[in-house]
Chain A
Amino acid sequence: MGENHSMFRGRSGALRRIAGSAAGRVGVGLVAALCLTAILAPLLAPYDPTAQVDIVTNRYASPSGDHPMGTDRFGRDIFSRVLHGARISLGIAVASVAIAITLGTAVGAVAGYWGGRLDTMLMRGVDMLLAFPRLVLLLALAAVFNPSTLLLVLVLGLTGWMGVSRLVRGQVLSLREQTFIEAARALGFSRGRILLRHILPNATGPIIVAATLAIADTILMEAGLSFLGFGVQPPTASWGNMIADGRATLLDAWWISTFPGLAVVITVIGFNLLGEGLRGVFDPRSRVR
């Protein structure tokens, strides 16, 4: 945390304000550390994540100096796999949340600004999709096509935008009644311009908060899907499929499932705290007392 601190004193006011709360500080620290881990995974990992080093003597090795988190049934180093898993999990989550946020913002903005029948139709559609346990929807989508990482990103994005669209719609509905929007309309600006240049920029705060919390949520969903075998496919290491991998030998080799799970917990905690910190920045009233 010490070295992170100088970062907050810089130009960025937002970062400094997030650092004002303990939760925000821990969140920023965790997320920064995770991003570094994901980027530097090949340098940090002591072994190749898919290398099966000496399967006879080295499989199911319990945690030790050589293998801080032990090895799995192929003698692969769990620690290296957890580090590389950070790349996969974070990459998938960030990419699919980007899709979800874009789609959700577009639908929400159009529904909120145009209103009328279009609004009713779009929001009915959202209700329809929301009536559905997300995992069931994901399973249906992921299982009917051949599993691939790209598909996973797409289906996670396509099942994650509904909440965002409701949020954005609410924001747009309240913003469009403001006098500065009326002024923009009086100046004869087009709907598209008012929406893109005047309304949406004022709604970025809540959207960023939602995006951060959505990353936490998506990491959990991806882990669940991969655990069931419909997500990231072996031998690529993802935290979810590593947990699934250790399930059969849970009672004899507890470390195979335990450590990737802890990685998920730490990551999700990081993004949840960061989201809370950001909410405090953008909406001071909501700050946890």
Chain B
Amino acid sequence: MVSYLLRRFLVAIPLILGVSTIVFIVLHLAPGDPTQIYLNPDIDQQLQDQIRHNLGLDQPIHLQYLRWLGSFLTGDFGYSLTQHRPVSSILASALPHTLILSLASLVIIFGLGIVTGTISAVRQHGVTDHVTTIVTLFFYSVPTFWLALMFILLFSEILPVLPSAQAMSINYDSLSLWGRVVDRFRHLILPSLALGLGGAAGIARFARGSMLEALSQDYIRTARAKGLPERTVICRHALRNALIPVITLLGLYLPFLFSGAVLVETVFSWPGMGRVIVTAILQRDYPVVMANTFLFGVMVLLGNLLADVLYCLVDPRIRYARRLT
């Protein structure tokens, strides 16, 4: 298993390099350069050239790429062209927010999705099943950012119970420790629901199918025949087997989740990577865009690795088969 995972990890490295190369090329194909954002066009041409030279923007594109790659591999993400501080510090402040939001959404996606799908499968063709099917179809098809807006409308205007923006209140610093935890949690509810419900609906649909498949197996009939209570049959025998393929979806859902995060963060003014990248793209802040993009790619690939590890741990057949090959 270790060698298999190591191989997967080694494969991920050229992938990351490839991804960042693509972004680098695309961004530099664009007309104009970042100095146009903050330089007064009336200033002396010589000075403009000097600034471009200092930033390395007058060098050929392949040299800019190599230079960037070199410093980047040594952990230096460069300097933001518009915020005048290191990119790493921008990312360091944005990354935790995106991770918190994504993790909360993942809990919703898999928790709610698996529970709903299982109930739906157990009550196949019942009223619960039909209602769930329609509800999941709705959430599966809803644009995350619109759902986010509707949540704001419903839960912070019509029924003002939850905050609709930022990750914490203005008076956060004056709160007690417990108050801070509650405050964070309350701010997290709407964004993570808006981000997670679509994915949860997808998992619910998948889990329902997977569960129905498992329930039709012979070992379920055996379990029932030997008189096990229905609850045990479903939870211990069917669900455990049905969940194995669901794990592989973790890797598949991550890019989807991060795409949604960009939109949800924008709607809720959530101070995460999504908002950073949108602002940076608008301002042509190349170093920030590239580092951010890279980070998204790394998180997706790490997520895929994690899914592989979990899959190996959960399914002994995989472990065994991989050892043989």
Which residues of chain A have a CB within 8 Å of any CB of chain B? Answer: 124-125, 127-136, 139-141, 143-145, 216, 220-221, 223-224, 227-228, 230, 240, 243, 246-247, 250-251, 254, 257-258, 261, 264-265, 268-269, 272-273, 288-289
Q: Is A265's CB under 8 angstroms from B142's CB? A: yes
Chain B residue contacts of A128, Cβ below 8 A: 15, 18-19, 22
Q: Please provide the chain B residues from 17 to 39 with a CB less than 8 Å away from any CB of chain A in the complex.
A: 18-19, 22-23, 26-27, 29-31
Q: Is B300's CB under 8 angstroms from A250's CB? A: no
Query: Closest 7 interchain pairs by CB?
Result: A144-B30, A261-B146, A135-B259, A268-B141, A133-B258, A128-B18, A143-B281
Given A125-B18, A268-B141, A289-B124; A133-B27 close (CB under 8 Å): no
Indicate if B111 sits at the interface (CB-CB under 8 A).
Answer: no
Nearest CB on A from B126, distance (A)? 13
Given A268-B141, A272-B140; A257-B296 close (CB under 8 Å): no
Given A143-B282, A261-B146; A133-B256 close (CB under 8 Å): yes
Name A144's contact: one of B26, B137, B142, B157 (CB within 8 Å).
Answer: B26
Residue of A nearest to B23 (CB): A140
Docked pose: A246 CA to B152 CA in angstroms: 13
22 A-B contacts, Cβ less than 8 Å apart?
A128-B15, A131-B19, A131-B304, A133-B258, A134-B255, A134-B256, A135-B263, A136-B259, A140-B23, A143-B282, A145-B31, A228-B266, A243-B146, A247-B267, A251-B157, A261-B149, A264-B146, A265-B142, A268-B142, A269-B137, A273-B137, A289-B212
Chain B binding surface, main DSSP class: helix
Residue of A nearest to B257 (CB): A133
Indicate if B145 sits at the interface (CB-CB under 8 A).
Answer: yes
Q: Is B26's CB under 8 angstroms from A141's CB? A: yes
Chain A binding surface, main DSSP class: helix
Q: Is A220's CB under 8 angstroms from B262's CB? A: no
Indicate if B16 sits at the interface (CB-CB under 8 A).
Answer: yes
0/1 interface trace, chain B 140-183, chain A, CB 8 Å (1 if under): 11111110011011000100000000000000000000000000
